[in-house]
Amino acid sequence: MIVKNKAWLAEQILSKRSFLCVGLDSDISRLPSSVLSSDNPVLTFNKHIIDHTKDLCVAYKINTAFYESLGVKGWEAFQATVNYIPSTHLIIADAKRGDIGNTSLQYAKAFFEEAQCDAITVAPYMGEDSLKPFLSFEEKWTIILALTSNKGSKDFQMIEDTEGIPLYNQVLERTQSWGTEDQIMYVVGATKPEYLSEIRKTIPNHFLLVPGVGAQGGDLEKVFNHGANADVGLLVNSSRGIIFSSSKPDFAQAARTSALRLQSAMQRLLESKF
């Protein structure tokens, strides 16, 4: 079995000239009508998207909410999507889990063993023993929320302690010793590229999963300039900006066009530095 560690990820990025992660937030209410008649519309849609983007990206991020909202049928679509993604890609369950130890262990088993994902996003609020069970899977990635891309990130993540250190930075400082750089990644939103240089002072070597980049190249460049490290160290995710590029029967080709635009911009950035 391939161990998809940091070196593997850097190699994939350089050989594909892409650090793109395609987000499969496959909201059934937004699927093109051309797939709705199939037995499992979400799965059919995902297969078309994967077929048309897999040479342009290094990872897929499956947002579990859009599958859970469909009940058992959605869970089937989630698993079948994981099974369909080539082993050459990092498969991220974007699940934002986190609970007491024995419960987190069950979540880790659910996504790492049962579903066979390579990575899961987790929330740090409950502390070390809530994350350790994920980290006990040393060949899997635990992706910890640090500074998220949404407006509400200011509500708690930016609260400063008595020494002026904001909560998101406390999370970076404390959690980095709970595992290796080959198994811990952090979520840092692309909507705050100016924070990336600061964050790199605390965690120079970790990979970052960066959501919030649209179809435009502007933010991407800032993210790269502030966030790239010696291993590139970035997975930039785009979900809606790629997968819902068209609601017509050409949706997969349109998704490819959007993914290609991002990948081309990434290639230019990579060639300027690597």
Span of 90-98, 134-142, 201-209, 217-225 interacting with its own copies by CB under 8 A: 90-98
Q: Which amino acid is at 23?
A: G
| Per CB under 8 A, 36 contacts its own copies | no
The site that binds its own copies (CB under 8 A) totals a number of residues, namely 61
Span of 8-16, 48-56, 143-151, 193-201 interacting with its own copies by CB under 8 A: 143-151
From CA 52, how far away is CA 242, in angstroms rounded?
Answer: 11
Return the structure tokens found at 26: 């496959």
Closest C-alpha among 221, 199, 269 to residue 14: 269
From CA 48, how far away is CA 10, in angstroms rounded?
Answer: 26
User: Closer CB to its own copies, residue 222 or residue 240?
Assistant: 240
Span of 41-49, 104-112, 192-200, 220-228 interacting with its own copies by CB under 8 A: 104-112
Nearest approach, Cβ of 65 to its own copies (angstroms)? Answer: 4
Give me the catalytic one of 73, 96, 132, 222: 96
| Per CB under 8 A, 110 contacts its own copies | yes
| Per CB under 8 A, 260 contacts its own copies | no
From CA 148, how far away is CA 153, in angstroms rounded?
Answer: 6
Quick one: how far is CA 136 from the chain centroid?
Answer: 20
Site for its own copies in 153-182 (CB under 8 A): 153-157, 159-162, 164, 167, 170-171, 174
From CA 64, how far away is CA 11, in angstroms rounded?
Answer: 28
Q: What DSSP state is assigned to residue 88?
A: T
Q: With contact defined as beta carbons under 8 Å apart, do 21 and 242 qualify? A: no
Query: In the set 2, 39, 102, 194, which binds its own copies (CB under 8 A)?
Result: 102
Query: In the set 103, 176, 202, 225, which binds its own copies (CB under 8 A)?
Result: 103
Give me the count of residues in the chain: 274
Query: In the set 66, 195, 244, 251, which binds its own copies (CB under 8 A)?
Result: 66
From CA 107, how far away is CA 133, in angstroms rounded?
Answer: 9
Q: What DSSP state is assigned to residue 28?
A: G
Closest C-alpha among 234, 249, 185 to residue 20: 234
| Per CB under 8 A, 5 contacts its own copies | no
| Per CB under 8 A, 128 contacts its own copies | yes
Catalytic residue at 96? yes
**168 contacts: CB under 8 Å, gap ≥ 6:** 146, 147, 153, 157, 158
Nearest approach, Cβ of 256 to its own copies (angstroms)? Answer: 23
From CA 272, how far away is CA 274, in angstroms rounded?
Answer: 6
Query: In the set 65, 205, 218, 273, which binds its own copies (CB under 8 A)?
Result: 65
Interacting residues toward its own copies by CB under 8 A: 25, 27, 63, 65-66, 68-72, 74-76, 79, 94, 96-104, 106-107, 109-111, 113-115, 123-131, 145, 148-157, 159-162, 164, 167, 170-171, 174
Which are the catalytic amino acids?
A: 96
